[in-house]
Amino acid sequence: MLLEYLQIGRVTSTHGLKGEVRFEPWCDGIKSLENVETVYFGPDGTGSAKLERVREQGRMFIVKLSCASDVDSAAELRGKILYCRREDLRVGPGRWFLAELIGCEVRDADSGAVYGKITDINNNGASDVWTVASGEKSFLFPAVGEMIVSVDVENCVCLVRPIRGIFDDGEPAD
């Protein structure tokens, strides 16, 4: 399902005395924020601030927002999740935003059998792993290119060719 506003990360702490914050990014990297001028504090675009500066520091970013001018105002942002408009993020062909996969139906590309819906996504270091649930059953699906045929977030459908055994010995779930 296409989302208008996407989570880009979380403010973890203050940085220095001039209103900068440490930011845990949930996006592909600093380049993905190149076109982002405004960030939002709510998933529906409520509350906004200008993104004045962003730089990398290890796995974290140091961010300066227009709403924080000193350490005290920056401290009020601790724990806040930041969002941006989908149209401001760059995404290459054959790529998608993980948040938009949640709730998508997973179907067998050859038979059309429905395995379930994606309820969670984790990364084990080598690849993303989708939790696909159907009724009381849930399965872990390694989201690797060899098994993903197509992803259509607009229609919320993922076509896959799983190896035998991932979905209960290859049989579709109820």
What is the edge-to-edge ordering of all strands in the sheet holding 137-143? 137-143, 128-134, 114-123, 105-108, 157-160, 148-152
3-class secondary structure, 88: helix
Q: What is the mean pLDDT of the chain?
A: 89
pLDDT at 27: 80
Residue-wise pLDDT tens digits, 81-122: 999 998 898 777 777 788 889 999 999 999 999 999 999 998
Instruction: Report which residue type is found at 50.
Output: K
172 vs 58, more confident: 58
92 vs 17, more confident: 17
Question: What are the two backbone dihedrals, phi and then psi, of residue 168, each rounded to the nearest 5 degrees?
Answer: 55, 60
pLDDT at 31: 84
Whether the per-residue pLDDT at 173 is higher than 70: the answer is no
Mean pLDDT of 125-135: 89
> In sequence order, what DSSP letters do the residues of 24-65 get, joined into one string?
EE-SS-GGGGTT--EEESSTTS-SEEEEEEEEEETTEEEEEE
Whether the per-residue pLDDT at 170 is higher than 90: the answer is no
First to last CA, the chain: 23
How far is 76 from 68, CA to CA, in rounded Å?
Answer: 9
Helix (H) or strand (E) holding 75: helix 71-75
Task: Give the percent of the chain with pLDDT over 90.
Answer: 67
Question: What are the two backbone dihedrals, phi and then psi, of residue 65, each rounded to the nearest 5 degrees?
Answer: -110, 150
How far is 51 from 45, CA to CA, in rounded Å?
Answer: 15
Q: Which structural domains are found in the chain, ordered by start?
A: 5-88 (2.40.30.60), 101-160 (2.30.30.240)
pTM higher than 0.75: no
pLDDT at 32: 83
How far is 96 from 32, CA to CA, in rounded Å?
Answer: 13
Q: Are 148 and 158 in contact (CB under 8 A)?
A: yes
3-class secondary structure, 167: coil
Whether the per-residue pLDDT at 169 is higher than 60: the answer is no
The C-alpha torsion from 55 through 51 and 30 to 143, rounded to 10°, is 140
pLDDT at 127: 84
Question: For the chain, percent helix, then strand, then coil, each to nearest 5?
Answer: 10, 45, 45
